[in-house]
Structure 1
């Protein structure tokens, strides 16, 4: 006879599934668009390169508005804001599909980004508040799975829809997903009370938003091939100055829009600011470099490269069900140290890829590469909140999301800059440049291992359910 499921765990599981659906919708929308850009440019009567603004404006708006997501969710009720954000994102997606011109599309994309900036962070806030710490690893594994699937299935789905139907349907497919998501959110996600009213930090929001936009634009200009590095450097320097001003304001304000308090907790600092930064930058940059290496360096077709990326994500997914057991058995410190070493080794192995390796061999290698990173990033996402008091979850969510966004921008722009430096005067880097880039990324990932080793042996034990070993307990008694 099976024991009944804990109601709190059941609620957390359902919430994680609803959040996973929302994250899949947002992730899919970001990737299906790429394959539709040429057709959209033809219909709008503009050069295809002009459509890059539809991607840039989404990134800028979502990043700039992200700091206010926690304040809005806590002041007006997280479930209400989460469900409202799904509705808004869905309607904005329909507006994108109906857009008669490029300016109209950009307005609709900006609205999409505004609602997306609230949807995922507020959904994560609900999940963190209602999930028992013993179930947090499993809940995070459920909610994070779409972020692995959407980037792989997005381009082929977008290409199929654009070819068989037309580009507006790339946006219209969000309508049924959004409808199901909002019904599920209203029915299954528990209602949480709004937090006590606190004033909105308009000054902090303005400085932080401007700083983030300047940093992203500056990094993008530095990474662009043939771009004037002086312009990018000047914008980046402005972003750094604004960031320092934002940090000064956060330390002095009574209710800062981006609180710095969560950084005093060792688990959060290690996962978000410290060692976690190294492995996330290496991982994100690898996701940018590998598709280019497969097509430009190895001469594979886009379809073949897509299948190999599917192998990488498949290897990651296959180990997700055992992440909780592994963390319970060995703990965060051991799994993160070994995970950083495995990630570094897998990136170094990618540097050995060459055209002489048969496709089946490439598939097997990249499947193992995906497996090497699986437990590492599940542990990293969970460790961030392992020692976080409930009252600080909102601020930690905001700070963590901002660091993630800047890490992604730094990784992609840095990888592009590195490839440009390794291929001066060439239109595209050669295989040797890609191999050097992979080795550099492997070194960055390896730098995280000694920093993870500084964690306490029983860091996050309450989250994993790992029992404190007897020798540690005796040491604490002494």
Structure 2
């Protein structure tokens, strides 16, 4: 088994096998992404098993993403303190236990609690994987490294809808979670053998108070969005949740200003490229979070497709995402981050608007083509955001930056489910219907499109040469030892 090394002592060193390391780490991300997309396809079938509305099943997705948002802030500290490999393997094991409990869930409430446990494992897997890359790869290789990291993770969304359709058509939906067990065992074996237990020489005391305050704030706000979006919370309950979220958030801000090493370092928002990536990427990720919820449900409830048929249709968007990975570096090198993000935001939002017009009488090849190209542009957008965010962050602050960025990323993905479910519910109620129609799904798609287009306005504020060295447009600056 590889011995421990100190990242603090070798921050500027280059790891020759970073592609191999990235692929091993990303195998666990494949498991997580497969789980999420399989579940999205199976929600209508699962709702019948639990005797609830398909719209109510959105809480199974939101509960998981909420758990990520609450526990991700601690990931950077744990990786620095106990070593990336140890934390990563423990995270996979936690995810496996949560999967077993999900498979045994007798009620929707039990399922949501088990999904929260899964989220605790996922909260450590995602940012630690990115942190290893950011701390060991030279700046000029960041775009390529991110692409290598995301390739196996993107295979999950490609296979997920088809696997989900096959499982709910020919097996029991509980096999959605059983398939994680062999994947997790392989992931732990590979990580234990090949991943270096990279850690920092010195860590600050853990910010327990900050974790509690940030967790209460994020948890209250997300549950307020989720329950009010589905119309299940009374105005008084929703207002109480919002109030608790805002008050605890304000207390956290006050706490963070006085703490030497807060769990979420708000001072990172003073860095222009990081701040703009957080804000612009947040608008874009709302639409990304809505897609796995809206598209399979529209295909099944609006088009009358089976779970398998809807999976075969919607997987094509992830194929477009895969195709983008080979094109990301040449595009960013040719046009730069600023121009790419501005125009790509407009194009990706345009495809979202087109999805609102999907109807059963459309030729399937046209739907395939639009999903394929739309997936390409949406994936290019996130590769660019995930890279430019760290353009001006010192290496010594990478752990804090990764925890902060990934927390907000997951919060926006969760908010995307809430916004789309809320728009769908509102359209149904306004029209006085008891179930969703294609017109209601169109309203939901156009709602998230109107949010997504705001990212283009934010990206106008990026400096013209931002991240040029990361895209290979200029020579990378010498390492400063930070």
- Shorter-chain TM-score bucket reads 0.7 to 0.9
Q: How has the CA–CA distance of structure 1 residues 365 and 155 changed in structure 2, closer, same or farther, with 3 Å as cutoff?
A: closer
Indicate the residue corresponding to 1:350 in structure 2: 355
Indicate the residue corresponding to 2:239 in structure 1: 233
- Aligned-pair distance for 1:111? 4.0
Q: How has the CA–CA distance of structure 1 residues 316 and 59 changed in structure 2, closer, same or farther, with 3 Å as cutoff?
A: closer
Q: How has the CA–CA distance of structure 1 residues 295 and 229 changed in structure 2, closer, same or farther, with 3 Å as cutoff?
A: farther
Indicate the residue corresponding to 1:288 in structure 2: 293
Aligned equivalents of 2:441, 2:165: Cα separation in 1: 27
Indicate the residue corresponding to 1:475 in structure 2: none
Which residue of 208, 213, 216 corresponds with 2:214?
Answer: 208
Aligned equivalents of 1:267, 1:71: Cα separation in 2: 23
Indicate the residue corresponding to 2:127 in structure 1: 121
After superposition, what is the alpha-carbon deviation per residue over 1:267-318, rounded to whole angstroms, capped at 9, x for unaligned? 111111x222222223323443333443444444443332221122212221
Q: How has the CA–CA distance of structure 1 residues 37 and 178 changed in structure 2, closer, same or farther, with 3 Å as cutoff?
A: farther
- Aligned-pair distance for 1:266? 1.4
Indicate the residue corresponding to 1:78 in structure 2: 84
Indicate the residue corresponding to 2:330 in structure 1: 325
- Aligned-pair distance for 1:324? 0.8
Matched, 1:257 2:266: no
Indicate the residue corresponding to 1:462 in structure 2: 469
Matched, 1:443 2:450: yes
Aligned equivalents of 2:415, 2:113: Cα separation in 1: 26
Q: How has the CA–CA distance of structure 1 residues 243 and 15 changed in structure 2, closer, same or farther, with 3 Å as cutoff?
A: same
More deviation, 23-32/326-335: 23-32
Aligned equivalents of 2:170, 2:395: Cα separation in 1: 49
- Aligned-pair distance for 1:102? 8.7
Aligned equivalents of 1:18, 1:297: Cα separation in 2: 39
Q: How has the CA–CA distance of structure 1 residues 102 and 67 changed in structure 2, closer, same or farther, with 3 Å as cutoff?
A: same
Aligned equivalents of 1:99, 1:290: Cα separation in 2: 25
Matches within 5 A, 1:174-189: 174-189=180-195
User: In 2, are the aligned partners of 1:36 and 1:167 still within 8 Å (CA)?
Assistant: no
- Aligned-pair distance for 1:414? 1.5
User: In 1, are the aligned partners of 2:102 and 2:174 still within 8 Å (CA)?
Assistant: yes
Aligned equivalents of 1:73, 1:255: Cα separation in 2: 15
After superposition, what is the alpha-carbon deviation per residue over 1:217-249, rounded to whole angstroms, capped at 9, x for unaligned? 111111114543442232122212211211221
Length-normalised TM-score, structure 1:
0.85
After superposition, what is the alpha-carbon deviation per residue over 1:372-391, rounded to whole angstroms, capped at 9, x for unaligned? 32322211111111221111
After superposition, what is the alpha-carbon deviation per residue over 1:167-195, rounded to whole angstroms, capped at 9, x for unaligned? 66443322322222222223322342334
Aligned equivalents of 2:286, 2:113: Cα separation in 1: 31
**Secondary structure of 2:463's partner?**
coil
More deviation, 343-352/298-307: 298-307
Matched, 1:157 2:163: yes
Q: How has the CA–CA distance of structure 1 residues 218 and 16 changed in structure 2, closer, same or farther, with 3 Å as cutoff?
A: same
- Aligned-pair distance for 1:84? 2.8
Identify unmatched segments of 5+ residues in structure 1.
Answer: 1-6, 469-478
More deviation, 50-59/61-70: 50-59
User: In 2, are the aligned partners of 1:67 and 1:402 still within 8 Å (CA)?
Assistant: yes
User: In 1, are the aligned partners of 2:287 and 2:448 still within 8 Å (CA)?
Assistant: yes
Which residue of 383, 400, 410 corresponds with 2:415?
Answer: 410
User: In 1, are the aligned partners of 2:95 and 2:121 still within 8 Å (CA)?
Assistant: yes
- Aligned-pair distance for 1:400? 0.9
- Higher Rg: 1
Aligned equivalents of 1:154, 1:441: Cα separation in 2: 23
User: In 1, are the aligned partners of 2:65 and 2:414 still within 8 Å (CA)?
Assistant: no
Which residue of 397, 401, 404 corresponds with 1:399?
Answer: 404
Aligned equivalents of 2:247, 2:164: Cα separation in 1: 40
Aligned equivalents of 2:288, 2:106: Cα separation in 1: 38
- Aligned-pair distance for 1:37? 9.2
Q: How has the CA–CA distance of structure 1 residues 38 and 419 changed in structure 2, closer, same or farther, with 3 Å as cutoff?
A: closer
Aligned equivalents of 2:80, 2:359: Cα separation in 1: 51
Aligned equivalents of 1:128, 1:462: Cα separation in 2: 15
How many residues are aligned here?
Answer: 458
Indicate the residue corresponding to 1:136 in structure 2: 142
**Secondary structure of 1:315's partner?**
helix
- Aligned-pair distance for 1:147? 4.5
Matched, 1:309 2:288: no
Which residue of 224, 242, 247 corresponds with 2:248?
Answer: 242
User: In 2, are the aligned partners of 1:36 and 1:158 still within 8 Å (CA)?
Assistant: no
Aligned equivalents of 2:115, 2:281: Cα separation in 1: 31
User: In 1, are the aligned partners of 2:26 and 2:129 still within 8 Å (CA)?
Assistant: no
Aligned equivalents of 2:411, 2:80: Cα separation in 1: 24
- Aligned-pair distance for 1:426? 1.2
- Aligned-pair distance for 1:113? 2.9
| RMSD (CA atoms) | 3.1
Indicate the residue corresponding to 1:334 in structure 2: 339
Aligned equivalents of 1:286, 1:159: Cα separation in 2: 17
User: In 1, are the aligned partners of 2:416 and 2:448 still within 8 Å (CA)?
Assistant: no
Aligned equivalents of 1:53, 1:413: Cα separation in 2: 9
Q: How has the CA–CA distance of structure 1 residues 178 and 102 changed in structure 2, closer, same or farther, with 3 Å as cutoff?
A: same
